Amino acid sequence: MTILITIVFSAILAFVLGVALGFFQKAFAVERDPKIDEVRAVLPGANCGACGFAGCDGYAEAVVLGKTATTNCKAGGSFTAAAVSKVMGVKASSEDLVAVLQCQGSKELAADKGEYVGLRNCRAAKIAVGGVKKCAWGCQGFGDCVEVCKFGALSMGPDGLPHVDYNACTGCGLCAQECPQQLFAMVPRNRKGSIVLCSNRNVIKQAVGKACKTGCIKCDICVKSCPEHCIKMVDGIPVTDYAACTSCGVCVEKCPTHAYKLLEKDVRSTRKLVAQKVEA
């Protein structure tokens, strides 16, 4: 009899609590903005986290609540930015960026300090021994950037350098954040003009040449030969004014170490060409 009473009482109590919970849920419910679902519907669903949120659901909610921009979906790029902005009734203003590695210090062209036996990642090598290359600014070649790329846009080549697949690169910037040498530049996908693929800021020409055969030796030929006068040296690195650059290619042609390239050309194919010219 005691067991039966307990069962009945428990059932009545469960019913009362259920009704009460249902009442309070409706009474204190926070209405969900339907735009969250609309934004979520136009997102690619990669759940990569490159936007700074745990996934697409979190990003969609943050957009509608005004906590982030409509252009921060890196996986979707400019197309998704435009779609999200349309849902929110704002104008999309993001640039479609891609990553460019500003280093050509391959195994053949950049000298090693010696045999490295530590942890096989760039950051550990930099902390432990100041890097494995004689060039203190060069790519360490362990592929930390490849590991963090969520879109398969980076891969390590046989030359010991990471290579960018520009069809897959979304411009999320994770590689740039991860690289301890700060070798990745995020540039507009459609930008044209010249860029120096070297980050060695040592102003001593001989030192640069000993460390890397394709390093910028600060000879100023690019600065002096530019017909538009749009190149100047900044902290030991030549910098192009893209507003004035006409992609004439004079700097590329004149550079004695082939450190200068045109952005509109494929960096991967020019690397192979550089190695052949330098070794010839």
Taking only the tens place, the pLDDT of each residue in 49-92 is 888 888 899 899 888 887 888 888 888 888 888 899 898 888 87
Class of domain 34-88: mainly alpha
Q: Are 195 and 205 in contact (CB under 8 A)?
A: no
CATH of region 97-279, choose from 3.50.50.60, 2.70.150.10, 3.30.70.20, 3.40.50.150? 3.30.70.20
Taking only the tens place, the pLDDT of each residue in 7-29 is 776 777 777 777 767 665 665 54
Q: Are 160 and 101 in contact (CB under 8 A)?
A: no
Helix (H) or strand (E) holding 53, with range, is none
Say if strands 184-188 and 97-101 run parallel, antiparallel, or are unpaired: antiparallel
CA-CA distance, 54 to 70, in Å (whole number)? 16
Provide the pLDDT for residue 50: 82
CA-CA distance, 41 to 73, in Å (whole number)? 13
Taking only the tens place, the pLDDT of each residue in 165-217 is 988 888 888 899 899 999 999 888 888 899 999 999 988 888 999 999 999 99
Least confident interval from 126-135, 166-175, 205-214, 251-260: 166-175
Indicate yes or no: pTM above 0.75: no
